[in-house]
Amino acid sequence: MPLLDFLNFYLVPGIVLGSIYAVGAIGITLVFGILRFAHFAHGDMATLGAFIALALVAGGMDPWTALPVAMAATAVVAIGVDKAFYDYLKARPKIVTVMASLGVALMLRSVVQVVWGVDPRTYATGIVRPDSYFGILLRPRELYTLASVVLIVVGLALFLRHSKWGKAMRAMSDNPDLARLSGVDNRKVTMLTWAIVGALCAASGFMLGINTELHSMMGWQLLLPMFAAAIVGGVGRVEGAVLGGLVVGIAEELSIFILPAQYKAATAFALLLLILLVRPRGLLNGKVL
Amino acid sequence: MPLLDMKDVRGGYGDADILQGVSITVAEREIVVIVGPNGAGKSTAMKAVFGLLNVRGGAIVFDGEDITGWAPNRIVQRGVCYVPQVDNVFREMTVHENFEMGAFLRGGDLSAAYDRVYGLFPDLKAKRRNLAGDLSGGQRQMVAMGRALMLDPKLLLLDEPTAGLSPKYMEQIFQITRDVRDAGVSILLVEQHAKQALAFCDRGYVLATGANRHEGTGQALLADREVAEMFLGG
Amino acid sequence: MDLLGLANYAVFMAILIGIYALLALGLNIQWGFTGLFNAGIAGFFAIGAYTSAILTSLPAAHRLGGFELPMVLGWVAAMLVAAAIAWPIGKICLRFRSDYLAIATIGIAEIIRLVIRTEGWLTGGVRGITGIPRPFGELPYMQSQLAFLAIVVVLVLLAYMLVERQVNAPWGRMMRAIRDNENAAAAMGKRVADRRLQAFVFGSALMGLAGALFVHFNRSITPEAIDPMIATFLIWIMLILGGSGNNRGAILGAAAIWIIWSVSELLTDRLPTEVAIQAKYARVFIIGLTLQLVLRFRPEGIVPERQAGAASSRR
């Protein structure tokens, strides 16, 4: 196969898909690392965010303008979900919160199904031809997706690295007892984390939606690759989630060479088991709960 | 009047009292060490000062104010900092960021605080961008102490700072503790290495089964036959 | 509905409750007594269903199988295959906190769903499998239903007694002690690790058996018959509401939730079409909300776990 074909039909789609996974996986890794539980409502929160953006687009907004608004709205939803369903479980074993998040997943999904139905939807209709950049074919939406992901990741990394509350989040993930001894307010960090996680959910849902289509199960189908990405990269590591997302996304696209196309979704699962078997801390040496 | 005055304190983590009446005082610019056999309640007594215990009797007065039952973050702001025995640094943050987290509650210009801490731990200046988790055990202990000193406390609580360190580092930590005292900070520490600790402290307390057993200057305690039998084992 | 119709419906419900009770008992072994989070119950159920269906059904042109083996063999095979899938998953994931097991079981359920849809030569694909025999299926309808109910009841009782015996043995005490300490899992010895794996495998085998019973009751199976998320979640809410850690609670929860679930379905089916579809999803919302309310206000369930000694309190 010519190199360009390989790039255009496998690698580029893999990178686009992988960056979408990465944005979701960052959220999972933040909840896993800071709040210390596996958040199973993550995918369905992404669905909700995607559909909030759809409502804005239906109201006449440009999709890429709707994205930040939907991110903000989903951030509020995430804080609300935490206050309503997770917060009061914090004194109990963390696995109880995992269970509650499974219930929240179901609830968020049924909200989407009641409000928007179960038929597939799109932000914009019509076929868009890709432009050629030195032989590499990219559609505008793919370009915007990659740019947005870079913006989100760099922005988040700068925030975590240099801002006071970003450092507080890292400290809470690193050593919660010591963070409390240092005077970090756990409630504020929790709220901030959910705001960021909600926004990231909406971004990943939106970007999956604009590159494929929206449907009520889209987030649930994102859940496994996103978790695989977070664990492959190393739990608690933002740069790990990005790496893991790309690994899973590209691996899914390349799996077609060895597996029937229907089993694309099995790639994430195989990677997950493999990493748990040989290197449970992930590629970048994260946490193991 | 002593800086810290802990009077006949009783309490524990749950319902059972681990402390059966412990009294400890720390004066300004004084190093006070708590020693005692395993399970004597040494660390527990220190945690009581820092508000990590249910105190059911007695009183803890710090700098003229009754702080019994205060939450730790309030005690921190009052001028008491605590260095836990284990997990006392942010391993995935740099040395400098660890110090920064120490000053989390304090706004404004921190350059004087950094200068002071790097002055006390000159070795760390070159490693300020290294991750704390990559440092040696002794240097990690310095980071932990430095983090606690960032708030410019009047009293520093150290829980077994030399546990697991080589004799060389132990001596170094003791020396730094003296330097910190000379910089105007009082220190209360719990030590497993009773002999060495009593030799270097200003005053010491020997606890047993959650209550005071002996007290006096380090030298006096070292000379005490009963204390000697307790630790130096006949 | 006349009296006979009502009786028919009651027997029909009782059979399904029995099947769900088996699932809830399987989950109780895993979660209730051992603290293992299985989020792929539907997968093990489907594996059991398809295994027994392939082995015992009549031959068909479009797929492999139709071996017409005795049903009991199908049931045993259903348990064995479910156990064989659970074993490697447990082996890899039980070293970590239960979050990882939950993720992996969600994954395995998805894979099982993919395989069932894709491998038409084995599972009949979307057409599914028909011509599955039913024990005493040649009897008149009511007798056949009652006979099937008897089989289900016997199996539930058997599972119940087996689990009770284990739980009251030193095994059960050990499991509860570990379950209540999240961090102990990493530090435990090999013997304990083996026991946890056994609990996971055996619980999954029971779920496989429940799948086999379901498929012989239904006489056919298609991929649509099992909605992975909802099926799994129903079992969870049955166990949590009934009383996790209590086998009688598990059975009671299965009965209560299944009755509520099916009656609410009867009600929503009577609504006008547009509303009915929305009501169907709203029903799922309410199930999710119920879990939150139980977790918040009655985490011990209707029938709390019996306190064997003071140590096993589980706020």
Kindly state the average pLDDT of the residues B109-120: 91
Give backbone dihedrals phi and psi of C183, rounded to 5 degrees, phi first. -85, -10
CB-CB contact of C33 with C171 (8 Å): no
Q: What is the distance between the alpha carbons of residues B24 and A242, in angstroms, rounded to a whole number?
A: 53
Using CA atoms, how far residue C54 sits from B127, C120, C245, C255, in Å, is 66, 12, 34, 29
**Count of CB atoms within 10 A of residue B119's CB?**
11
Nearest CA in chain A to C232: A102
Nearest CA in chain A to B144: A178
Which residue in the set B76, B77, B88 is minimally distant from A178, CB to CB? B88
Would the pLDDT of B192 be above 70?
yes
Closest CA to A33 of A218, A222, A196: A196
**Count of CB atoms within 10 A of residue A186's CB?**
15
Which residue in the set A170, A177, A181 is minimally distant from B93, CB to CB? A170
User: What are A14-57's pLDDT values in tens digits?
Assistant: 999 999 999 999 999 999 999 999 999 999 999 999 999 999 99
Q: What is the distance between the alpha carbons of residues A97 and A75, in angstroms, rounded to a whole number?
A: 19
Of A120-134, A209-223, C30-44, C53-67, the least confident: C53-67
- Chain A, chain C: beta-carbon pairs less than 8 Å apart: 131
Query: What is the pLDDT, as a whole number, of residue C312?
Result: 39
**Considering the entire predicted model, what is its pTM?**
0.91
Residue C93 to residue A110, Cβ atoms within 8 A: no
The domains of chain B, with CATH numbers, are 4-232 (3.40.50.300)
Query: What is the pLDDT, as a whole number, of residue C162?
Result: 92
Instruction: Tell me which chain A residues have a C-beta less than 8 angstroms from the C-beta of B76.
Output: 181-183
The DSSP code sequence of chain B is --SEEEEEEEEESSSS-SEEEEEEEE-TT-EEEEE-STTSSHHHHHHHHTT-SEEEEEEEEETTEE-TT--HHHHHHHTEEEE-SSS-S-TTSBHHHHHHHHTTT--S--HHHHHHHHHH-HHHHTTTTSBGGGS-HHHHHHHHHHHHHTT--SEEEEESTTTT--HHHHHHHHHHHHHHHHTT-EEEEE-S-HHHHHHH-SEEEEEETTEEEEEEEHHHHHH-HHHHHHHH--
Instruction: Tell me which chain A residues have a C-beta less than 8 angstroms from the C-beta of C98.
Output: 95, 98
Residue A88 to residue C296, Cβ atoms within 8 A: yes
Instruction: Tell me which chain A residues have a C-beta less than 8 angstroms from the C-beta of B100.
Output: 167
Q: What is the distance between the alpha carbons of residues A144 and A64, in angstroms, rounded to a whole number?
A: 8
Query: What is the pLDDT, as a whole number, of residue B24?
Result: 94
Residue C289 to residue A96, Cβ atoms within 8 A: no
Helix, coil or strand: residue A213: coil
Instruction: Tell me which chain C residues have a C-beta less than 8 angstroms from the C-beta of A111.
Output: 285
Separation of first and last alpha carbons in chain A: 43
Residue C39 to residue A102, Cβ atoms within 8 A: yes
Kindly state the average pLDDT of the residues B193-212: 89
In this complex, whether B and C touch, counting 3 or more CB pairs under 8 angstroms, is: no
Q: Which residues contact B108 (CB under 8 A, 6 or more apart)?
A: none
Q: Å from A56 to nearest chain C CA? A: 22
Q: β-strands B54-62, B65-66: how paired? A: antiparallel
Of A192-196, B72-76, C175-179, the least confident: C175-179
CB contact residues (below 8 A), chain A span 167-206, against chain B: 167-168, 170-171, 173-175, 177-184
Q: Which helix (H) or strand (E) holds A214?
A: none
**Residue corresponding to tokens 């769900």:** C20
Query: What is the pLDDT, as a whole number, of residue C306?
Result: 77
Is the CB of A124 inside 8 Å of chain C's CB atoms? no
Helix, coil or strand: residue A125: coil
Using CA atoms, how far residue B36 sits from A72, A259, B126, B221, C217, in Å, is 56, 66, 38, 12, 71
β-sheet bridge partners, residue B62: B4, B65
Instruction: Tell me which chain C residues have a C-beta less than 8 angstroms from the C-beta of A40.
Output: 39, 102, 106
Which residue in the set B73, B87, B97 is minimally distant from A175, CB to CB? B87
User: What are A128-154's pLDDT values in tens digits?
Assistant: 888 888 888 889 999 999 999 999 999
User: What are C142-162's pLDDT values in tens digits?
Assistant: 899 999 999 999 999 999 999
Q: Confidence band (pLDDT; 50, 70, 90) for B233?
A: low
Q: Which tokens sit at C91?
A: 């082996």
Residue A183 to residue B93, Cβ atoms within 8 A: no
Closest CA to C258 of C287, C289, C295: C287
Give backbone dihedrals phi and psi of C282, rounded to 5 degrees, phi first. -60, -35
Would the pLDDT of C64 be above 80?
no
Is the CB of A109 inside 8 Å of chain C's CB atoms? yes
In this complex, whether A and B touch, counting 3 or more CB pairs under 8 angstroms, is: yes
Residue A99 to residue C240, Cβ atoms within 8 A: yes
Q: What is the distance between the alpha carbons of residues A230 and B29, in angstroms, rounded to a whole number?
A: 50
ipTM of the complex: 0.92
β-sheet bridge partners, residue B217: B203
Residue A106 to residue C229, Cβ atoms within 8 A: yes
Which residue in the set A173, A177, A182 is minimally distant from B101, CB to CB? A182
Using CA atoms, how far residue C171 sits from C93, C187, C191, in Å, is 21, 18, 11
Residue A110 to residue C104, Cβ atoms within 8 A: no
Q: How many residues does chain A have?
A: 289
Separation of first and last alpha carbons in chain B: 38
Residue A94 to residue C182, Cβ atoms within 8 A: yes
Query: What is the pLDDT, as a whole number, of residue C52?
Result: 94
Most confident of A197-201, A276-280, C218-222: A197-201
CA dihedral sign of residues B156, B160, B164, B170: positive
The DSSP code sequence of B81-111 is EEE-SSS-S-TTSBHHHHHHHHTTT--S--H
The DSSP code sequence of chain C is --HHHHHHHHHHHHHHHHHHHHHHHHHIIIIIIT------HHHHHHHHHHHHHHHHSPP-TTSS------HHHHHHHHHHHHHHHHHHHHHHHTTS-HHHHHHHHHHHHHHHHHHHHH-HHHH-GGG-B-----TTTTS-HHHHHHHHHHHHHHHHHHHHHHHHHHHHSHHHHHHHHHHT-TTHHHH--HHHHHHHHHHHHHHHHHHHHHHHHHHHHHS-B-GGG--HHHHHHHHHHHHHHH-TT-HHHHHHHHHHHHHHHHHHHHHHHTS-HHHHHHHHHHHHHHHHHHHHHHHHH-TT-SSPPP-SSSTT---
Give backbone dihedrals phi and psi of B169, rounded to 5 degrees, phi first. -70, -35
Would the pLDDT of C313 be above 50?
no
Q: Which residues contact B29 (CB under 8 A, 6 or more apart)?
A: B181, B182, B184, B185, B186
Would the pLDDT of C315 be above 70?
no
Would the pLDDT of C169 be above 90?
no
Query: What is the pLDDT, as a whole number, of residue A90?
Result: 87
Q: Å from A88 to nearest chain B CA? A: 21
Give backbone dihedrals phi and psi of B102, rounded to 5 degrees, phi first. -60, -35
Q: Which tokens sit at A112?
A: 């989407």
Residue A184 to residue B82, Cβ atoms within 8 A: no
User: What are A90-122's pLDDT values in tens digits?
Assistant: 888 888 999 999 999 999 999 999 999 999 999
User: What are A150-184's pLDDT values in tens digits?
Assistant: 999 999 999 999 999 999 999 999 999 999 888 88
Q: Which tokens sit at C296?
A: 């918040």
CB-CB contact of A206 with A56 (8 Å): no
Query: What is the identity of the amino acid at B149?
Result: L
Nearest CA in chain A to B151: A182
Kindly state the average pLDDT of the residues A69-73: 98
Q: Å from A182 to nearest chain B CA? A: 6
Subunits with 3+ Cβ pairs within 8 Å of C are A
Q: Confidence band (pLDDT; 50, 70, 90) for C228?
A: confident
Subunits with 3+ Cβ pairs within 8 Å of A are B, C
CA atoms within 13 A on the CB side of C33: 34
Q: Which tokens sit at B234?
A: 């006949």
CB-CB contact of B97 with B59 (8 Å): no
Is the CB of A8 inside 8 Å of chain C's CB atoms? no
The DSSP code sequence of A152-195 is HHHHHHHHHHHSHHHHHHHHHHH-HHHHHHTT--HHHHHHHHHH
- Give the dihedral of Cα atoms C278, C280, C285, C287; nearest 10 deg: 170
Q: Å from A176 to nearest chain C CA? A: 16
Which residue in the set C104, C114, C282 is minimally distant from A272, CB to CB? C104
CA atoms within 13 A on the CB side of A52: 28
Give backbone dihedrals phi and psi of C82, rounded to 5 degrees, phi first. -60, -40
Query: What is the pLDDT, as a whole number, of residue B227?
Result: 82
A3-117+137-278: which CATH architecture?
Answer: Orthogonal Bundle (1.10)
Which residue in the set C99, C281, C287 is minimally distant from A95, CB to CB? C99
User: What does pLDDT average to over chain A?
Assistant: 94
**Count of CB atoms within 10 A of residue C268's CB?**
17
Closest CA to A144 of A196, A58, A238, A67: A67
Q: Å from B109 to nearest chain A CA? A: 14
Q: What is the distance between the alpha carbons of residues C211 and C229, in angstroms, rounded to a whole number?
A: 16
Instruction: Tell me which chain A residues have a C-beta less than 8 angstroms from the C-beta of C111.
Output: 265-266, 269
Instruction: Tell me which chain B residues have a C-beta less than 8 angstroms from the C-beta of A175.
Output: 87, 89-91
β-sheet bridge partners, residue B54: B12
Q: What is the distance between the alpha carbons of residues B233 and B104, in angstroms, rounded to a whole number?
A: 45
Would the pLDDT of B108 be above 60?
yes
Q: Which helix (H) or strand (E) holds A241?
A: helix A238-254
Q: What percent of chain C has pLDDT over 70?
A: 94
The domain ranges of chain A are 3-117+137-278
CB-CB contact of A86 with A101 (8 Å): yes
**Residue corresponding to tokens 């309640």:** B41
Query: What is the pLDDT, as a whole number, of residue C50?
Result: 95
Q: What is the distance between the alpha carbons of residues C38 and C108, in angstroms, rounded to a whole number?
A: 10
